Amino acid sequence: MINVIPAIDLIDGKCVRLTKGDYNQKKQYDASPLDMAMRYQDIGIRRLHLVDLDGAKSSSPRNLHVLEEIATHTTLDIEWGGGIKSNEALRDAFNAGAHHLIIGSVAVSLPELFACWLDQYGGDRLILGADVNNGRVAINGWLEESKQTIEALIDHFTPHGLREVICTDIAKDGMLQGPSFDLYTRLQTAYPELDIIVSGGISAMSDIQHLNEMNLRHVIVGKAIYEECITLEELKLWLQNE
């Protein structure tokens, strides 16, 4: 059964969602990040995807106080991304309560550093975040497009113990039009030893069911929950049937 991972994106400590990664297309939601995290825990969610969008645009995390608050008040397994571009930022995020860290920009711009981190901390603590736009990996909060393909990026780090890859199709993100099914099945087939985590475009429980039938292992769901295209009750029933 595919593992559903709810997402909370943060700007100024608040829950937000972007459309196609565009900071100018931001929607803020009333619920606090801690309230949302506790609701997820209450229905049986085990893992939370927490992204510091302020940190993604800058050189270091900006919302670690939110991470620390959620880690203190829940037992959720938290994967954190945004602004992890130095040894200090990496240590600060782990110390604030992250179980896993998502590394995106550094993996592209400083691959030797990410390889070193993988060697030191292991693939069970560090996740490659590969956000794809027009077939290329985007970095720095999706504001820059690199020349790297996701396959080239994965191939570089598998010898260093890479285990998980979050792949976001930016063109689908926040659009509520369904994920790029072909992209994810292609990647999972090419790298069966890795967990390819689906991210972007989930619009309804039927998308999750389809991904499950295609033998994908993990899916991140964000805007569909906030916009009530997927309700917490539906997620609860799904989890009970695992």
Would you please indicate which residues are annotated as catalytic (active-site) residues? 9, 131
Could you tell me how many helices (H) and strands (E) the chain has, helices first?
A: 11, 12
* Nearest-angstrom CA–CA distance, 197 and 183: 11
The rounded distance, in Å, linking the Cα atoms of 240 and 62 is 36
DSSP string for residues in 149-217: -HHHHHHHHGGGT--EEEEEETTTTTS-S---HHHHHHHHHH-TTSEEEEES---SHHHHHHHHHTT--
What length is written for the chain? Answer: 242
Residue 104 amino acid letter = G
Contact 173, 18 (CB under 8 A): yes
CA distance 16 to 76: 20
Cα 27 from Cα 7, distance rounded (Å): 14
Q: Give me the sign of the Cα torsion angle 239, 172, 35, 165.
A: positive
